């Protein structure tokens, strides 16, 4: 500052300080106003003006299309905080890359929003209120796969929301990315890819309620049974897991496929606090993802994505089809699962009894049911193999008494005999105290057991095995003569 007097230098210094103070106040006003506008926005937003994510670095990306609302995209290389708009564009880039990986049309436009973890929990609570996944727990309890829970618990949405990075909301076809998390991890990117795979499925096959043009729902292809629901989810989730694995280049590694399946299970599948450490329930939760990935991988190996796409036109309606995928050169079973007849038992059981459940258990749950009470898991699996259909009915009288009539059909007489032998070992272990074998009452055919915990009946005729459980020997003996 040569050439200036001391007084002039003092004036210049004061002016510079004033400029700094003014711009500092201006910046404070801008940030405060931005935060107030974000609080008034109808879309959930993360805390602060940015959302920490990482941008994708996959080669060959296509410039993203403008998005009506902000988004997030993760990456395995570096974690860089991005604005919501930048994140939304990054998500669209990942979606376009994934469409090429999956060989489906890209999703041209879909909204991306940033709900908080609490808002994700509320969304899940509303969703589960509509589809009521906990109702399947009643069947699992009847089969001894889980404890009997009454009343049925609500899903643990708080715990699930803590594990979620992204979700696909079919209503409105939205991508939900949880706000307020730290920088994205490689697993977060894979979670996003799994989410986007569901968006591609919905866009390509019209699975959601907003499909245009309206299409027949996928579930309408099968009877509404527990077995069919597991099989249909195996197609959807197996497709998404395999798509994610091919995006990551790990589809040839079975361990990585299982790891990706477990990541998706934790984020998407409802869990229940009373069942947190029940191994059989965890196997049920993982089935659509692990076995579904193997099922879809077998279809892909036989005919590529075209073959997988055709599976949506003729989806699996039983877990038998999922457990025994038709590979190269084999001829798939074209007949649907058999439905062994169970007559109306109300006249036999008497006043107050009514049918409260009619369902199909399926090969997967039959195998778990046997494995839970036999010492040899492999023998249990073999005994469930050859399943061709079943009808499971539950009758109750309103006072706590129950009668189960379960009729199972098998592909051959030999397979029916194998199941009969396995179930003969299971019966004394199924209830506590164990029922004791007793002579058939009234000259009836078949095996009978009786004890303080109830009575059981087992009989095979040809390829059909009939199982009856009841509160006492008298009630079971009354039911048996009326069965085919």
Is 57 part of a structural domain of the chain? no
Of 261, 292, 323, at which residue does a domain stop? 323
298 and 385 co-located in one domain: no
313 and 382 both lie in a single domain: no
**Res 209: pLDDT:** 57
In this predicted structure, what is the pLDDT of residue 109? 80
- Whether residue 318 contacts residue 386, with contact meaning beta carbons closer than 8 Å, is answered with no
Phi, psi of 391 (to 5 degrees): -130, 120
Q: What pLDDT does residue 373 have?
A: 97
Q: Is 48 inside any structural domain?
A: no
> CATH number for the domain including 416?
3.40.1000
On whether residue 59 sits in a domain, the answer given is no
- Tell me what pLDDT residue 3 has: 53
User: How distant, in Å, are the alpha carbons of 128, 145, 210, 229, 280 from that of 241?
Assistant: 22, 26, 24, 18, 22
Residues 306 and 398 placed together within one structural domain of the fold: no
Instruction: Please check whether residue 334 lies inside any domain of the structure.
Output: no
Same-domain pairing of 32 and 136: no
In a shared domain, residues 252 and 132: yes
* Residue 80 within any structural domain of the chain: no
Task: Tokens for 111, please give them.
Answer: 């909204």
Please tell me the distance from the alpha carbon of residue 361 to that of residue 83, in angstroms, as a whole number. 49
| Predicted pLDDT at 76 | 41
Instruction: Report residue 11: phi and psi, to 5°.
Output: -65, -45
pTM (2 d.p.): 0.82
Rounded CA-CA distance 254/245 in Å is: 10
Give domain status of residue 333, yes or no. no
Query: Is there a single domain that holds both residue 204 and residue 309?
Result: yes
List the pLDDT tens digit at each of the 484 positions of the chain: 445 555 445 444 544 444 333 334 333 333 333 333 233 222 233 333 333 333 333 333 333 343 333 434 444 434 444 567 777 888 899 999 999 999 999 987 889 999 999 999 999 999 999 999 999 999 999 999 999 999 999 999 999 999 999 999 998 889 999 998 877 899 999 999 999 999 999 999 987 655 555 555 777 889 999 999 999 999 999 999 999 999 999 999 999 999 999 999 999 999 999 999 999 999 999 999 999 999 999 999 999 999 999 999 999 999 999 999 975 445 555 578 999 999 999 999 999 999 999 999 999 999 999 999 999 999 999 999 999 999 999 999 999 999 999 999 999 999 999 999 999 999 999 999 999 999 999 899 999 999 999 999 999 999 999 999 999 999 999 999 999 9
Q: Is residue 9 part of a domain?
A: yes
User: For residue 270, what are the domain limits?
Assistant: 112-323
Q: Is 401 within the bounds of a domain?
A: yes
Per-residue model confidence (pLDDT) at position 169: 93
Distance of alpha carbon 272 from alpha carbon 281, whole angstroms: 10
Q: Which residues contact 123 (CB under 8 A, 6 or more apart)?
A: 115, 167, 169, 176
177, 315: one domain? yes
Shared-domain flag, residues 431 and 284: no
pLDDT of residue 451: 97
Mark which of 323, 356, 380 sits at the end of a domain. 323
Instruction: Give the closest residue to 171 by CA, choosing from 124, 210, 224.
Output: 210
Rounded to 10 deg, the angle between the 186-205 and 254-268 helix axes is 80
Q: How far apart are the first and last CA of the chain?
A: 109
Q: Are 249 and 371 found together in one domain?
A: no
Q: Which of 308, 323, 338 is the last residue of a domain?
A: 323
Choose among 416, 398, 388, 394: nearest CA to 406: 394
- Adjacency order of strands within the sheet including 174-177: 112-113, 174-177, 166-169
CB atoms within 10 A of CB 456: 26
Q: Are 301 and 385 found together in one domain?
A: no
**Is the same domain home to 297 and 160?**
yes
User: Nearest CA to 109 among 72, 67, 70?
Assistant: 67
Q: Within this chain, do residues 124 and 254 fall inside the same structural domain, yes or no?
A: yes
Number of domains into which the chain is organized: 3
């Amino acid at each position: 500052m040569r050439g200036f007097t001391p007084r002039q230098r003092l004036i210049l210094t004061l002016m510079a300080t004033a400029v700094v103070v003014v711009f500092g106040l201006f910046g404070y006003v801008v940030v405060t106003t931005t935060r107030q506008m974000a609080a008034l926005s109808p879309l959930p937003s993360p805390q602060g003006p940015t959302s920490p994510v990482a941008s994708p670095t996959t080669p060959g990306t296509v410039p993203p299309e403008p998005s009506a609302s902000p988004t997030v995209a993760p990456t395995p290389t570096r974690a860089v905080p991005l604005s919501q708009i930048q994140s939304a564009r990054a998500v669209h880039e990942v979606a376009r890359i994934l469409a090429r990986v999956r060989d489906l049309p890209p999703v041209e436009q879909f909204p991306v929003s940033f709900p908080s973890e609490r808002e994700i929990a509320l969304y899940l609570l509303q969703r589960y209120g509509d589809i009521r996944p906990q109702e399947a727990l009643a069947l699992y309890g009847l089969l001894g796969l889980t404890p009997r829970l009454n009343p049925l618990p609500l899903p643990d949405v708080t715990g699930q929301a803590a594990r979620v990075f992204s979700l696909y909301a079919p209503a409105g076809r939205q991508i939900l990315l949880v706000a307020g998390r730290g920088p994205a991890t490689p697993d977060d990117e894979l979670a996003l890819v799994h989410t986007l795979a569901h968006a591609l499925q919905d866009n390509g096959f019209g699975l959601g309620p907003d499909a245009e043009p309206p299409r027949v729902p996928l579930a309408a292809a099968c009877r509404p049974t527990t077995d069919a629901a597991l099989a249909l989810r195996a197609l959807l989730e197996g497709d998404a897991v395999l798509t994610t694995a091919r995006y990551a280049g790990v589809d040839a590694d079975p361990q990585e496929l299982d790891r990706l399946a477990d990541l998706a299970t934790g984020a998407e599948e409802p869990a229940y606090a009373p069942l947190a450490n029940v191994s059989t329930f965890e196997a049920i939760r993982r089935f659509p993802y692990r076995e579904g990935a193997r099922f879809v991988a077998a279809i892909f190996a036989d005919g590529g994505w075209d073959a997988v796409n055709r599976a949506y036109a003729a989806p699996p309606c039983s877990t038998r089809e999922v457990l025994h995928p038709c590979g190269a050169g084999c001829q798939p079973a074209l007949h649907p699962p058999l439905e062994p007849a169970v007559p109306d038992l109300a006249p036999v059981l008497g006043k107050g009894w009514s049918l409260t459940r009619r369902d199909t258990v399926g090969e997967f749950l039959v195998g778990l049911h046997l494995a839970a009470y036999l010492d040899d898991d492999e023998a249990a699996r073999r005994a469930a193999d050859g399943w061709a259909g079943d009808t499971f009915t539950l009758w109750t009288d309103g006072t706590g008494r129950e009668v189960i009539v379960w009729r199972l059909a098998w592909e051959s007489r030999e397979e029916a005999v194998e199941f009969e032998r396995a179930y003969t070992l299971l019966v004394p272990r199924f209830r506590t105290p164990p029922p004791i074998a007793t002579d058939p009452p009234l000259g009836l055919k078949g095996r009978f057991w009786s004890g303080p915990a109830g009575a059981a009946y087992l009989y095979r005729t040809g390829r059909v095995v009939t199982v009856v459980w009841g509160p006492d020997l008298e009630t079971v003996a009354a039911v048996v003569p009326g069965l085919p």
